[in-house]
A = this chain, B = another copy of it.
Amino acid sequence: MEVGAFFSSLKNCFKSITRIGTDDPRRVLHSLKVATALTLLSIIYWGRAVYGITRLVMSVMTVVGVFEFSVGGTLCKSVNRICATLIGGALGVAEQHLATALVEIEETVLLLILVFILGAITTFFRFFPKIKAIYDSGVVIFMTTFLLVAFSKHGVEKIFERLLTILIGIITCTLISIFIWPVWAGEDLHILLASNIETLANCLIGFEVNYFDNQIRDKSVLQGYETVLKSEATEESLTNLARWEPAHGFFRPRHPWNQYKKIGAFIKKCASKIESLHDYLNPEIPISSEFKFKIKKPCSRIITELYKALKVISSSTEIMVHPSAAKRHIEKAKAAAGELNFFLETVSLEEAKFLSIIPVGTVAFILEEITQLVEKIYQSIAELSELAEFKNVGEVTVSPEKPHVS
């Protein structure tokens, strides 16, 4: 049995490795790129005895520290590392100049005081969330450069030597990152946005099929809103990294990355409304079937039109075309919502029990709110397409059929 357990855990391990790799095959490529950079630098510093070893270790630290998955991440970390080296080195040189006027014991005390103060300040600044994310590895470089320069007698040569080693490492990483299978954070952000919008569309239609047609639920289609809600942190970090990237492909210089935050916020609100909708699929909630049947037609129309609108917005965002083709679907959805509203205002409720009517009415109510949110998503994407000068192809052909949720 123990051998069986060992093999099954080994199998699980293999499975999760395969999953990480197949979820995004660029991860495998990235690993190979980092390995290439490390090997190249090993060749450069090859066979230079102890002297070479120190530099090689410095290079390896640079590669592991700055070579991030995306081009933006690599550039951001590179600049951060150069700055940390320069500031640490400058402070070390300044300390040496200060120390020339002092006797040895005084210099020792000065250095220890400086170590204490710099240590306290750099540690404290790591509590700022923004600094923590970017500058964490920079702190090590800053402190070690300062100490190397301040403690050794050949300070200035040391810092140039160090800077050169770091620069060679950084240039190797940057060139490989940009020219061999580049991963652009900006592109990832753009695609994430489009796919989140598509997920909303699928969740909506999945809800309709389950709620009004009583089909069996397919959790994977339904719970897409969870993925959307969880993507907030990813979106934020991609936005920050995208700013570091040079123009590439469709993305010109000064691409309006800020707009993505605004769009993302509307998408998130819409996803959380869809989450509330899905709460009402709970079979324990009493539901008046009669009343549900009455509102089925307008609700289905709203959902179908919103589905089409979201699909068009998603696909036109993906190919960078103005989403104008979604406009008429949104108008139709709004018209259907108006009808639903009118129906709810005039409905007679003499027969049904109130307790079983509330949940159905709430569903109708949430659908109206979702209609407004989809319009806001449309407007914010339209703004983006004007700011980023998307193409203006009148109509985009997309297939607005329902997906098979069974």
Residues of chain A whose beta carbon lies under 8 Å from any beta carbon of chain B: 16, 20-21, 27-28, 30-32, 34-39, 42-43, 46-47, 50, 52-54, 56-57, 60-61, 63-65, 67, 108, 111-112, 115-117, 119-124, 127-128, 139-140, 143-144, 147-148, 151-152, 276, 341, 344-345, 347, 349-350, 353-355, 357-359, 361-362, 364-365
Contacts and interface: CB of A to CB of B under 8 A. Distances in A.
A120 B362 contact: no
A122 to B, nearest CB: 8
Contact of A112 (B43, B64, B128, B148): B43
B358 A354 contact: no
Number of copies: 2
Nearest to A65: B140
A38 B144 contact: no
Contact of A354 (B65, B115, B361): B361
A14 B314 CA distance: 43
Contacts of A358: 344, 358, 361-362, 364-365
Q: Is the interface of A mostly helix, strand, loop or mixed?
A: helix
- Output the residue of A27, A36, A144, A341 with the most chain B CB within 10 A: A144
Contacts of A27: 124, 127
A31 B120 contact: yes
A60 B124 contact: no
A23 to B, nearest CB: 9
Contact of A119 (B21, B34, B152): B34
24 contacts: A32-B120, A34-B120, A35-B116, A35-B120, A36-B116, A38-B143, A39-B112, A42-B147, A46-B108, A47-B108, A53-B152, A56-B151, A60-B143, A65-B140, A344-B355, A345-B353, A345-B354, A347-B354, A349-B349, A350-B350, A357-B361, A358-B361, A362-B362, A362-B365
Nearest to A69: B127
A248 to B, nearest CB: 23
A233 to B, nearest CB: 8
A139 B64 contact: yes
A108 B276 CA distance: 62
